[in-house]
A = this chain, B = another copy of it.
Amino acid sequence: MVYPSLFYFIKRVTWSKIIVRTESAMLKVGIIGATGYTGLELIRCLIKHPGVEITSLTSQTYEGMQISRVFPSLTKNIELNCLSLNEKEITRTADFFFVALPHQTAMTVVVQLVEQKKKVVDLSADFRLKDPLIYERWYGKRHSSPQLLQEAIYGIPELNRNNIERATLVANPGCYSTGIILALAPLLKNRLIDVNGIIVDAKSGVSGAGRSLNLTTQFTEINEKACAYKVFEHRHTPEIEQELSVLAQEKIIISFVPHLIPVNRGILSNIYSNLKERLTTEKLLCVYQEFYQKQKFIRICPIDSFPDLSQVRASNFCDIGIKVDPKTNLVVVVSAIDNLVKGASGQAIQNMNIMEDFPEESGIDDVPLSL
């Protein structure tokens, strides 16, 4: 007897990736901090994941409340109550944890989970930076577990898949960081650009600011508006520079100007840099296509096309467009991601899929909702 969903499987998954699991062996997953936007997005994707079962959700604000009362969109899709964050007990509920807490708060929880031999993807900033002094400088507090910093793997699968496979703790990258690093990697790895003078002008949707109350993200304060903020001072800068430096094998400094624009989801990042020697747009497109040819979630735009936010919305894709200005030999690379998916929860699940040997696209194989 063969089942209809099997065809789905046949259509979308390579055979080499098949794992035999019985239902009782489904991976039990817990989400710590389930009622923020990244928490909601984790739930939305994991419900569709064929190999996992969500067994616990925590929330300080909504403790005891059914998750479908917090988010009515989840009604008839999941029935779980929000638990308080009692780390001792929570560790019993699942084998794999996503930590979607604010930085500093995340740190303590992650340490305890790791001590209990749980695998963890941490969506906060707490384990992204290798150098505890840089952490302290940008986040204003001492890091309480500097030893774990070395162990944590920075989780961009397209650049770091082998390390993620073996990881127990993955530091999920910042939303800006993902789109910017993926856009620059082929240029730096192939040593095509002058590493000085890299400029990043990025535009983010409002969900990047999270679900906490804030005057600047009230509807009337951002609708029909656009503005630069934290100019040259955004906290994602050090992790971007750290990872770019690894790729380039030399110290990279960027000038980073983020903006807020009135859309719910998405980050459009423009990277400007000077080519070391004359190259055509066509040639660069080939470089990018080759660099990312085996990556399911990277799509290189055809010549003279640039990605818009809508073509990746609600999906785990990162779309990239490239063009050289022949007058000045400047290259602009434009990347588009959904900040909540490839920029946060989708990539977190992609990391889990690699850590747990699931097909990499399980739970995150949605066609983008371009409209």
A positions within 8 Å CB-CB of B? 1-11, 13, 18-23, 26, 37, 40-41, 43-44, 47-51, 69, 71-77, 196-197, 199, 201, 203, 206-207, 211, 213-215, 217-229, 231-232, 253, 255, 257, 259, 261-266, 268, 270, 272, 274, 296, 299, 301-302, 305-315, 317, 319, 321, 323, 325, 327-328, 330, 332, 334, 340, 358-359, 362, 365-371
Contacts and interface: CB of A to CB of B under 8 A. Distances in A.
Given A4-B9, A6-B5, A8-B5, A306 B228 contact: yes
Given A2-B22, A5-B13, A8-B5, A201 B270 contact: yes
A328 B253 contact: yes
Contacts of A268: 226-228, 259
A21 B217 CA distance: 45
Count of chain copies: 4
A261 B262 CA distance: 8
Given A20-B2, A227-B308, A299 B75 contact: yes
Which 3 A-B residue pairings sit nearest by Cβ, starting from the closest? A227-B308, A8-B50, A73-B370
A292 to B, nearest CB: 11
Contact of A263 (B226, B332, B366, B369): B226
A253 B327 contact: yes
B3 A72 contact: no
A174 to B, nearest CB: 18
Nearest to A260: B308
Contact of A308 (B6, B225, B370): B225
Contact of A313 (B51, B77, B224): B224
